[in-house]
Structure 1
Amino acid sequence: MSTLSPGLRPPPVRPLAEAAAAPARRAVRFRLTPDDRGVLWLYLLTRVSLWITAHFARWLFPAQPGVREAAPVLAPFQQWDANHYLHIARDGYFPAGTGPWTSGWDNREAFFPGYPFLLRAVHTVVPDWTAAGLLISFVAGAVAVLALARIARAYLPGEEAAGRRTAVLFLLSPCAVFLAVGYTEALFLAFALPAWLAALKHRWALAAVLTTLGTAVRVSGLFLAAAVGLLFLLSVRAGAGRSTWPARQAWRSAGWTLLPVLPPAAYSWYLHAHTGDWMAWKHAQERGWYRTFHAPWEAWANTWTGAFGGTQSTGYASMFQAELAAMVVGSALVVLLVRRRRRRWPETGYVALSLWALGTSYWYTSVPRATLLWWPLWIGLAALSLRRPWFRTAYLCVAAPVSTLVALTFLTGRWAG
């Protein structure tokens, strides 16, 4: 067994004849196994830990020194981008004729509509906006971690603890707090990971529908769509060498791979109707988050200056240091995926597209958070820890305090990526 993520052993691309002859065997199982229940217990325990951290954060680190009353119970969770999603869900993208032409505009069109739309729907049942967002992330996170564990068991056959080990490393990762707050990571993964699981089973229609839901939540869904499309092409090529008829049958599913482009296209049309700009979401990111295109080496240099050049306060400088570290991890992951498993091009493409999008801005922003979306990383680390037990101890000794510090940083209103 290989020890790093590029050495994962996912199920081989199955011949199309086998896929066409046994559709019943490809059904996605929804019954919880004992391993699934163990993963859910881990998930629940980490949620309890985060709530304990949030409780003490509002008492020990108040916004103003000397106060004698703690902030409301849910206040620590309503920070930064969570406020953007709340404003979109509550007021829409262009309330009362405001927009990019308005002074002090918050560039909210940079955020895709999937999460705000669901937040508004849940709010009809849960009156508190923050609680509604937390409920979405709680349910979505459970779905995501279950799917991740099942993918891990498929990639690491014969390893009974593969699913639980991957879940532990993932749930204690440095940026795990973003899975529990009103952000899009948990919801996106709740669509993306089952989509990938369905694609591995050659259930292309289901994979496409789930990926489409993912593209409504984050632009990262397009990277997933590219990976699913490449996996489809590889499976067709593998099947064509065995039998022509199953390959022709499979091509009937090709149209499903184009479905994920519809939400971004519809959102661009909506923005154009209100702003006259087809790429208004991209231009909003450029205005608000310095996501103008720069060469990768320029982005690295600018981030390095922010981290070590003395131009930022210590809090922001530390986050820029984390950005650099995450970019190094992602780049190493891509290199190792290519070197160790040349047939795993879909996973390589998914991570590489994410790195390109994040690594060509003025400086890096939110790369550590993006690591949550790189499922080959967490499965690969689990594979390493299963082969070398000392790695699990080393990882937990480093990740647990870092995860706690990042959680405290976010929950107290400081920038945490």
Structure 2
Amino acid sequence: MPLSAPPSPRHAPVRVDTVVRPVRAEAPSGAVPFRLRPADREVLWLYLLTRVAVWTTAYCTRWLFPASGDARVPEPVLASFEHWDWGHFLNIARDGYFPGGPGEGDNREAFFPGLPLVLRAVHVLVPHWTAAGLLVSLVAGAVAAVALARIAALHLPGSRAGGRAALFLLVSPCAVFLAAGYSEALFLALALPAWLAARRRRWLLASVLAAGATTVRVSGLFLAAALVVLFLTTRRDEGAGRKREAAWLLLPGLPALLYFRYLYGRTGDPMAWKHAQERGWYRHFRAPWEAWSQTWHEAFDHTQATGYAAQFQADLLAMVLGLVLLAVLVVRRRWPEAVYIALTLWALGTSYWYMSVARSTLLWWPLWVGLAVWSVRRRWVTLAYLCLVAPLSTVLAITFMSGRWAG
């Protein structure tokens, strides 16, 4: 999803035997899918501790980095999360997409309606809009953390890979956006259980959850494509049942079609969301090498304020990381995950400049799973990772919470 724009213009391969094998879906099990296991409770305790860390950072940020340098009274802690994209989600949830008619000018139609709809529903019970948004992300983030841990456990059963995957995600450099009223937590809360259901051959459940993910972000369509590849690479007998399951995989595209139809009815342009991104965030199509060159220029040629230049530098690094991840997935023949990452990188790497690439790493679950499995085989990986990302996570959280950077 887009963010506020600036003024206009190796790691080693994962050596894990289970990752080398071609993708096979897990056989259905008779276990209740939503029952918490001991490993899930450990993940939830970890999640709770990281939420305490986020709120501690928010409290300190209000006192140490006030909007006014001579402030005597800090702003409310909730103000730490009222920045950038949150305003768009709030406006949509409260006023709709076109309260003053088409052409209003704030390009809010660039954001898919899933989070605003959930936010509006929660607001019925929680009158404070920001608190409602934080509650949505709090619950969604817990679901996402447990689902990610379960996915990682499929790759290396009986190990601590599940908890490691959740840890690596929750302390990653851009993890503050999982706590804010942004769409990442809600998307993961739908996308990761969808992937887990597909791995267990529950295609109807996977399709319904993926459809929910598509209401939240256009990345849901990339997830749908990965589900199709996973279905095609799953070894099962052909028959009527398989054809029926294949039909369900069309479901994730329906929310996007409905949203495009809505935009067409209001603006006469079914691609109004894409054009809003172009107007507000310079997401015009450009060749990948041109996008890289432009981003490099903004990052290192002193054309932007240092804060925005740092953002571009982070996006360049994230793109390199994504390409390395894609290469590892291809070598390991993880075709479904490779499709998801490839489509994501294409979407992010073919605009005027890179934007939100670093933040998008939150949605790259193959990255967190791969790192977790690698850390089980190589003990030093966990320590090295935490020493590297801890300062970055803290700095980026403070920067976002103080309103000094879009993220």
Q: Above 0.5 in TM-score?
A: yes
Q: 1:82-125 CA distances to partner (integer Å, 9 max, x unpaired)?
A: 1100000001000032x32x4xx110000000000110010010
2:79 alignment counterpart: 75
* Contact 1:169–1:382 (Cα < 8 Å) also in 2: yes
Match of 2:130 in 1: 130
SS at match of 1:415: coil
Please tell me whether the aligned partners of residues 166 and 382 of structure 1 are also in contact (alpha carbons under 8 angstroms).
yes
Mapped partners of 2:200, 2:112: distance in 1? 29
Distance verdict in 2 for CA 1:6–1:338, change over 3 Å: farther
Indicate yes or no: 2:345 matched with 1:376. no
- For the 8 Å contact 1:26–1:202, the answer to whether it is kept is no
1:141 aligns with 2:146: no
CA apart distance, 1:166: 1.1
Whether the 8 Å contact between 1:6 and 1:380 is mirrored in structure 2 is no
Q: Which deviations, in whole Å up to 9, do the C-alpha atoms of 1:265-313 show, x marking residues without a partner?
A: 0001111111110100000000001100000000000000111011001
Is 2:360 the partner of 1:392? Answer: no
Cα separation, 2, equivalents of 1:4 and 1:155 = 15
Q: What is residue 413 of structure 1 aligned with on the other side?
A: 403
Aligned residues: 395
Q: List per-residue Cα deviations over 1:49-103 (Å, max 9, x = no partner).
A: 0000000101110111111111112001111001100000001000032x32x4x
* Cα distance change, pair 58–380 in 1 and its aligned pair in 2 (3 A): same
Tell me the equivalent position of 1:404. Answer: 394
- SS across alignment from 2:73: coil
Give the letter aligned to residue 332 of structure 1. V
| Residue in structure 1 matched with residue 256 of structure 2 by the alignment | 264
Whole-angstrom distance in 1 between the partners of 2:30 and 2:282: 45
2:156 aligned residue: 156
Pairwise CA distance, 1:168: 1.1
> 1:40–1:146: 8 Å Cα contact kept in structure 2?
yes
Alignment-mate amino acid for residue 9 of structure 1: T
SS in 2 for 1:71: coil
| SS of 1:96 mapped into structure 2 | coil
Change (3 A) 1:225 1:26: farther
Following the alignment from structure 2 to structure 1, what is the Cα–Cα distance between the partners of residues 300 and 133? 36
Residue 7 of structure 1, CA deviation: 4.6
2:18 maps to 1:9: yes
- The percent identity for this pair of structures is 63
CA distances 1:390-414 after superposition (whole Å, capped 9, x unpaired):
1211110110110011101100002
Contact kept in structure 2, 1:112 and 1:217, CA below 8 Å: yes
Which residue number in structure 1 is paired with residue 199 of structure 2?
Answer: 200
CA contact (8 A) 1:406 1:416 kept: no
Helix, strand or coil: the match of 1:183? coil
Conserved? CA contact 2:123–2:129, under 8 Å:
yes
Equivalent position of 2:95 in the other structure: 91
Cα distance in 2 between the residues matched to 1:351 and 1:5: 16
> 1:320: Cα distance to partner?
0.5
Q: How does 1:195-344 map to 2 (within 5 A)?
A: 195-235=194-234, 238-240=235-237, 244=238, 247-339=239-331, 341-342=332-333, 344=334
Tell me by how many angstroms 1:12 deviates. 6.6
Q: Following the alignment from structure 1 to structure 2, what is the Cα–Cα distance between the partners of residues 164 and 157? A: 12
Root mean square deviation of aligned Cα: 1.7
Opposite residue 131 of structure 2, the aligned amino acid is A
Q: CA deviation at 1:234?
A: 1.5
| Aligned equivalent of 1:62, options 62, 66, 87 | 66
Q: Distance in 2 between matches of 1:215 and 1:201?
A: 21
Q: Which residue of 2 aligns with 1:51?
A: 55
Distance, in Å, in 2 between the alignment partners of 1:205 and 1:189 is 18
Aligned-pair distance for 1:14?
5.3
Alignment gaps of 5+ in structure 1: none
Q: CA deviation at 1:157?
A: 2.1
Question: How has the CA–CA distance of structure 1 residues 14 and 348 changed in structure 2, closer, same or farther, with 3 Å as cutoff?
Answer: closer
**8 Å CA contact retained: 1:7, 1:337:** no
Which structure's residues are more often helix, by fraction?
1
* Preserved CA contact (<8 Å) 2:84 2:406: no
> How far apart are the structure 2 equivalents of 1:218 and 1:27?
30
Contact 2:59/2:77 (CA < 8 Å) preserved in 1? yes
Deviation at 1:383, TM superposition (A): 1.6
Q: In the superposition, relative to structure 1, how do residues 356 and 151 fare at CA in structure 2: closer, same or farther (>3 Å)?
A: same
Residues of 2 paired with 1:73 and 1:13: CA distance? 45
Aligned-residue offset at 1:4: 4.1
Alignment TM-score, normalising by the size of structure 1:
0.92
Return the alpha-carbon distance in structure 1 between the equivalents of residues 191 and 206 of structure 2.
9
Match of 1:348 among 327, 334, 338: 338
Read off the aligned partner of 1:146 and give its amino acid letter: V
The 2-side partners of 1:192 and 1:265 are apart by 18
* Partner-residue secondary structure (3-state), 2:370: helix
1:248 to partner: Cα distance? 3.6
Distance 1:37 1:125 in 2: 27
Does the Cα contact within 8 Å between 1:5 and 1:333 map onto a contact in 2? no
Q: Which residue of 2 aligns with 1:111?
A: 111
Cα deviation per residue 1:334-356 (whole Å; 9 max; x = unaligned)? 011111x12x1000000010000
For the Cα contact (< 8 Å) 1:272–1:278, is it kept in 2?
A: yes
Q: Deviations over 1:219-275 (max 9, x none)?
A: 00000000011111112xx224xxx5xx44211111100001111100011111111
